[in-house]
A and B are shown apart, each in its own frame.
Chain A
Amino acid sequence: MVGAVAQAAQGAAQASTWGGLTGFQWAIFGAAVAFIGGGMGSAIGITYVSNVASGILVEDPDKFGSLLPLLAIPGTQGIYGLITAILVTIFFDLAKLTGLNGLLVFFSCLPVAFVCLVSAIYQGLTAASASAMVARRTEELGKAMVLPALVETYAVFSLILTIYLFTRIPK
């Protein structure tokens, strides 16, 4: 019985498709989801902080330079999504990827997809709130950057986890 199960599992692992999709298709799906999550989150996060920053700039255009780092910081999640998507094509020989391994690649992409989506949005909100510090005193930019940077930590962790998981999947 155990032998039969092991044989079935080995067969599934070596099958070229899983759930009707090939390993190549699963991997590309994962790469796309990673970028979609990170990219969407970044776009929304930047929009939030831009809204507030534009109000500040209407009153004092000289603060543009100080606000730029706060405006840019929610954009990093989109970069992590892009890195993940490119790593999928670099790490794996997509043409030879089995169905199961392709599925594993897809799941490995999910930490970046979801964590970056959510963290970029909340980072945008945090950066928008922190811009009040810059509005009051430009020299407070350093402190203001720390708050959204803390949110960034979890996006970085998700990228590290995704890359680590890639290393555990047979090429």
Chain B
Amino acid sequence: MDIEPDMTRAMKTFNRVPRYGTAVGRIMMHEATMLNWQRIERLIESRFEDCITVLIDTEYGPFLEGATVAAEVEAGLMAFLKSQYELLDAICAGTFVPDFMHLKYDFHNIKVFLKLSRGESGAEPMLSGLGSLDTERLASAVEGEGGTLGPYWEGLIRDLKEESDAIDGPGAVDTVADRVFLEKRLAIAGKEKSRLLVDFSRAAIDVANLKTLLRGRVLGKPPEYFADALAAGGRLDRSELVGLAGDPPDRFSARLLATRYGGMLEEVLHSEDRQVRLTSLDRDSDEFLLEKLAGMRRMALGPERIVMYMLKRENEVTLLRVVLMGKLHGVSAPVIERRLSSTYTRGGVQV
């Protein structure tokens, strides 16, 4: 990955303000309405009805008003997130930002249809409404009908299908699609030459690769699985990681601890034996990626700020979902708080 010369970077800052300035201004206003941690704690302590009353005064109000059951809460939160994506599409039209953000959901939907085409059941209700691709056209493209989504997506879906068909087992589509998603997202960030987004995407690849590696070892996956599942483009060399998969435990731990992610992996690797505490790995890796996001504040007037806002909103919705669903199901406040702190990071909200 090329490092931009300082002068080019400085000039880009000047060019970006006219391009993203208005969008950043609008995002600044929406950032101001995000829930802070004190408010989340207040929600945790409240009854479900009181939570909804508190949320009525926020941006969630129109979406959660009158919600009394889990399905309504879920629909409300998803509608809110959809409204945020519609805002993003409107204010960043013609830029790479919507592509960067929608990609995750487009890949999710592609996975759903690919699984359906392989006869893996139960995929239909899991479609996401946050993708940029029309789901009916997507379904047609997965069925092999050309001319629906354009050559880029059709070629990509064809490649995904071929690669996943070449792998046996129920997780084949996830294995291949998750890898390709990370690589494509890095390519989008690289095309825009956003250093911080490239760094973020590379860190996301590393984190995903490390999780895959650790989980794969616990599940006793064969070496060829890692060659299919690990994404290229991260700071940790993919071929070295594939090679690590077959190493004896001591050497495996020592080599991972020597990487830049050693601090994040310490707890997991030391608690090995070989019960890897993957929940804490998920939390630590999310925390790590959100720390990366915090660096995006430095680019106060560029697309990074918009991406940071969207990712933080998604995290906020996740936090709210845990709280509200917990309340609906009669989970006590300490348990909800413990679940939040053990599984989700506070980085998504203003602390």
A residues lining the B interface (CB < 8 Å) = 44, 47-48, 50-60, 121, 124-125, 128-129, 131-132, 135-137
Contact = CB atoms under 8 A, between A and B. Distances in A.
Nearest to B23: A55
A56 B25 contact: yes
Contacts of A137: 32
B28 A131 contact: yes
Q: Lowest 8 A-B CB distances belong to which pairs?
A: A55-B25, A51-B21, A59-B29, A135-B28, A55-B22, A136-B32, A52-B25, A55-B26
B14 interface: yes
A51 B25 contact: yes
A125 B301 contact: yes
Nearest to A121: B14
A52 B24 contact: yes
A117 to B, nearest CB: 13
Contacts of A136: 28, 31-32
Given A54-B25, A132-B300, A59 B30 contact: yes
Nearest to B30: A59
B14 A135 contact: no
B311 interface: no
B22 A51 contact: yes
B29 A135 contact: yes
B38 interface: no
Nearest to A136: B32
B167 interface: no
B58 interface: no
B17 interface: yes
Interface string B8-20: 0000011001100
Given A125-B17, A129-B300, A54 B22 contact: yes
A48 B17 contact: yes
Contacts of A57: 25
A149 to B, nearest CB: 18
A59 B29 CA distance: 7
Given A125-B13, A125-B17, A52 B31 contact: no
- Name, among B28, B29, B301, the residue most crowded by chain A CB atoms within 10 Å (CB to CB): B28
B32 A53 contact: no
28 contacts: A44-B14, A48-B18, A50-B21, A51-B21, A51-B22, A51-B25, A52-B22, A54-B21, A55-B21, A55-B22, A55-B23, A55-B26, A55-B27, A58-B22, A59-B30, A125-B13, A125-B14, A125-B301, A128-B24, A128-B301, A129-B300, A129-B301, A131-B25, A132-B31, A135-B25, A135-B31, A136-B28, A136-B31
Nearest to B305: A132
